[in-house]
Amino acid sequence: MNNLKTIAKDALRAQPKAELHVHIEGTLEPEMVFELAEKNGIVLDYPDAGTLRQAYNFQDLQSFLNIYYQGVKVLIEADDFFELTYNYLRHAHEDGVVHTEIFFDPQSHTDRGISLAAVFEGINRALAKGQKEFGITSRLIPCFLRHLSAEAAMETLHALLPYRDFFCAVGLDSSEKGNPPSKFSEVFDKARAEGLLTVAHAGEEGPASYIWEALDLLHVARIDHGVGCESDDELCRRLAAEQMPLTVCPLSNIKLAVFDDIKGHNLKRLLDRGLCMTVSSDDPAYFGGYLLDNFIAVQTGLDLTWDEVTELARNSIRASFLSESEKLEWLDKIETVHDEATA
C-alpha cells in the first residue's frame, strides 16, 4: 500500500486515531443552528441553513470568528450542549476516532448568562453516552478567549475550578494577532499550580515568537496549530528534539487562507524534519471536513505513504492525555492495522 497514489478511504477510516484539536462549538452544523434557534426563540441574521452555509467564505481567522460567535448564541440549555456533543461523537466514531480531547469556550457561554453547570452537564452526559455506545474515550479542555483580558481569563479559571474533576487541561484560543501567549502567563501559572496541563493555539496566524512564548512562558504540553514554526529553523529543531506535538488542522488552514491550497501545506515538510505532527479538524462544521476528511486531504494532496499516515495516527495517541497503558494498547492496535494493510 505504500506505493499507492491514493490510500483507500476505508483503510484510513480503519486506522485508530485520536482527535486532539476540535472545538465543540465548531461542530455546530447550520441545520442544528436553526433547529436550536427555533427551539430557544433566537432570531438569526440569516434566513435559512443554506444561506448561512454560503456565508462560510472566510478571508482570515477573524472573519470566521465573526460568524462562529453568532452560531454559539443558540446554545442555551444543557440539552443543547448534549445534542451538539453527541452529534460530534457519532461523526467521530464513523471516522475511526477512538479518543478525543475536546475544546470548549466557557466565556462564550458565561458572558451570555449561561451557567458552567449547564455546559458541563450537557457535554459530560454526551461523553458518557458516546463512550458507552461507541467506545470513544475523551478529555475536556476549556479555553480562554485571548481577545479578552487576562483578568477575565483569571476570573474564568476560578469559576472553572469547582468543576476540576471534569477537565484535564486549559487552553488558549480565539484571535491570535495582537494577543501573544505572554498576555496570559499568570493565568497559566495558576492553572499549573492547580495541577492542570496546558495547551495553546500558537503559530496559526501569529508569528513563530508566539510558539516560543507558549513553550517558555505557558509551559504547554502541546502546540495547537503551530504551522508558523517553519519560518524559524531553531524553533523547528527544538520542537523536533522535544517531540513537542503540533495539532495541525489542514482544512482549517486552507479555509482561513493560512495556505493557498493543500499541496502547499507544510505538514509533510515538518513531518520529514522529525516534528511530532498530528491531524485534527478544528471547527469541522465551518471548514468543510471532519477528521477523516482531513486525513484524506493530506494523504492525497501531499501524497503521503501508508507509513506516514500511520505515523500521524501514532503521534495522535502519543500526544494525547491518555494514560501510558492506554497509549500502549492503542499503539499496538495501530501496528496491527498497519501490518494487515501492508501484508
| Residues involved in catalysis | 204
**24-34 burial, b if ≥16 CB within 10 A, otherwise e?**
bbbbbbbebbb
Using the 8-state DSSP alphabet, how is residue 282 labeled?
Answer: B
C-alpha cell at 111: 458572558
Give the Cα separation of 218 and 236 in Å (integer): 18
Query: Does 307 belong to an annotated binding site?
Result: no
207 within 8 A of 228, measured Cβ to Cβ = yes
Query: Does 79 belong to an annotated binding site?
Result: no
Question: How large is the greatest C-alpha to C-alpha distance in the chain, in angstroms?
Answer: 57
State the CB neighbour count (10 A cutoff) for residue 42.
Answer: 15
Give the Cα separation of 211 and 308 in Å (integer): 25
> How far out from the chain centre does Cα 338 lie?
25
Give the Cα separation of 16 and 291 in Å (integer): 12
**166-192 burial, b if ≥16 CB within 10 A, otherwise e?**
bbbbbbbbbbbeebbbbbbbebbebbe
Question: Residues 6 or more apart from 155 whose CB is under 8 A from it?
Answer: none
Using the 8-state DSSP alphabet, how is residue 21 labeled?
Answer: E
Query: Does 23 belong to an annotated binding site?
Result: yes
Question: Residues 6 or more apart from 185 whose CB is under 8 A from it?
Answer: 217, 218
From 199, 270, 173, select the one nearest 228 (Cα to Cα).
Answer: 270
SS3 percent helix, strand, coil of the chain, rounded to 5, is 55, 15, 30
Query: Does 282 belong to an annotated binding site?
Result: yes
Could you tell me which residues are annotated as the binding site for substrate?
283
| Binding site feature residues | 21, 23, 201, 282-283
Binding-site residue ranges for Zn(2+): 21, 23, 201, 282
